[in-house]
């Protein structure tokens, strides 16, 4: 009997874009297993998307078979993607990943295919639609709170760094069932100019954008700045994010609008 679970594409990252990776290791694509386990736990079939930055035909053929796209966290976006020169505090980038994720995000929006962005994924959605980013929050947005609670600085991935305020009437607030939520925070970049067509659905105490969604009811498109895959067992409300995404992907699989 054919498995009727929705097929979810999860983008990958170039191994050598990560700090401290020896140069003599083979060129590889990788991604944190938590994203794949979260998809399986909520009823989806995960597939890792190779960074075929120079083969859009194959990438598009793969995209066409997907029922949803999940864009996970990772390294910084190259600021050339949103028309800026590089700030000294912009970190390592992954040009192939930028190309692939921006293409997938734009195709998903055009085809009304469910799209879920986490941390960097939120930023990809914003840039794909014409928005911009702070390349370093502390340097470019004075008086902001600390957002960079990185594991390599001794913070657990499920450390709840601050609350976010959820916008009334938003899809995000409907999914989470409350007015605020404690979240983890592992980023030093953030949305600066919100792209046309996106609505801000959550903000941090300092006003930094923490979530966006699309201004239309016929597509699930949601991006959050935190990492729900790392805290869904600490704060069960975050499970509703994956459940909502998977429900939309299942409806897409069966030819039903979001």
pLDDT tens digits for range 128-165: 999 999 999 999 999 999 999 999 899 999 999 999 99
Q: Are 127 and 77 in contact (CB under 8 A)?
A: yes
DSSP-based three-state secondary structure for 46: strand
Task: Please confirm, yes or no, whether 253 is among the known catalytic residues.
Answer: no
Confidence band for 216, pLDDT divided at 50, 70 and 90? confident
| Residue 203 pLDDT greater than 70, yes or no | yes
Query: 185, 234, 242: which is closest to 210 by C-alpha?
Result: 185
Q: Are 183 and 229 in contact (CB under 8 A)?
A: no
Greatest mean pLDDT among 6-10, 13-17, 26-30 = 6-10
Mean per-residue pLDDT, 229-256: 88
**In this structure, what token pair is assigned to residue 74?**
């990772």
Considering just the CA atoms, what is the radius of gyration of the chain in Å?
A: 17
Instruction: Tell me which residue has tokens 């874009």.
Output: 17
Catalytic residue among 101, 210, 229, 232: 229
Catalytic residue among 99, 187, 188, 227: 227
SS3 content of the chain, % helix, strand, coil (to 5): 35, 20, 45
Q: Cβ atoms within 10 A of the Cβ of 228, count?
A: 23
The torsion of the CA quartet 98, 9, 152, 206, rounded to 10 degrees, works out to: 70
DSSP-based three-state secondary structure for 122: helix
The single-letter DSSP state of residue 7 is E
| Residue 257 pLDDT greater than 80, yes or no | no
**In this structure, what token pair is assigned to residue 251?**
């409806």
Q: What is the CATH number of domain 7-253?
A: 3.40.50.880
Q: Are 230 and 161 in contact (CB under 8 A)?
A: no
In this prediction, residue 234 carries a pLDDT of 67
Q: Cβ atoms within 10 A of the Cβ of 193, count?
A: 14
Q: Are 29 and 101 in contact (CB under 8 A)?
A: no
pLDDT tens for 42-80 read 999 999 999 999 999 999 999 999 999 999 999 999 999
| Residue 208 pLDDT greater than 80, yes or no | yes
Q: Indicate the pTM of the whole model.
A: 0.95
Catalytic residue among 90, 119, 188, 232: 119
Kindly report the three-state secondary structure assignment for every residue of 165-213: EECCCCHHHHHHCCCEEEECCECCCEECCCCCCEEEEEECCCCCEEEEE
Confidence band for 23, pLDDT divided at 50, 70 and 90? confident
In this prediction, residue 232 carries a pLDDT of 75
| Residue 21 pLDDT greater than 80, yes or no | no
DSSP-based three-state secondary structure for 64: helix
For helices 56-64 and 95-111, the axis angle rounded to 10 degrees is 40
What is the tally of helices (H) and strands (E) in the chain? Answer: 8, 13
| Residue 258 pLDDT greater than 70, yes or no | no
pLDDT tens for 78-117 read 999 999 999 999 999 999 999 999 999 999 999 999 999 9
pLDDT tens for 173-195 read 999 999 999 999 999 999 999 99
Task: Please confirm, yes or no, whether 119 is among the known catalytic residues.
Answer: yes
Confidence band for 16, pLDDT divided at 50, 70 and 90? confident
């Amino acid at each position: 009997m054919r498995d009727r679970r929705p097929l979810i594409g999860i983008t990958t990252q170039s191994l050598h874009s990560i700090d401290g990776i020896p140069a003599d290791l083979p060129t590889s694509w990788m991604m944190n297993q938590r994203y794949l386990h979260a998809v399986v736990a909520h009823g989806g079939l995960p597939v890792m998307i190779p960074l075929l930055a120079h083969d859009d035909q194959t990438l598009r053929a793969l995209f066409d078979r997907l029922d949803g796209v999940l864009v996970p966290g990772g390294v910084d976006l190259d600021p050339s993607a949103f028309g800026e020169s590089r700030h000294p505090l912009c970190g390592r980038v992954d040009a192939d990943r930028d190309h692939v994720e921006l293409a997938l995000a734009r195709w998903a929006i055009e085809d009304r295919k469910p799209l879920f962005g986490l941390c960097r994924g939120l930023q990809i959605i914003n840039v794909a639609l014409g928005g911009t980013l702070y390349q370093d929050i502390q340097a470019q947005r004075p008086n902001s709170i600390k957002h960079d609670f990185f594991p390599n600085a001794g913070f657990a991935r499920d450390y709840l760094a601050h609350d976010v305020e959820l916008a009334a009437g938003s899809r995000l607030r409907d999914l989470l069932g409350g007015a605020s939520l404690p979240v983890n925070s592992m980023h030093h970049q953030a949305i600066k100019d919100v792209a046309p067509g996106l609505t801000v659905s959550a903000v941090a105490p300092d006003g930094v954008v923490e979530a966006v969604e699309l201004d239309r009811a016929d597509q699930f498109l949601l991006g959050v700045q935190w990492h729900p895959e790392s805290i869904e067992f600490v704060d069960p409300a975050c499970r509703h994010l994956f459940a909502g995404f998977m429900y939309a992907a299942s409806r897409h699989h069966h030819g039903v609008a979001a």
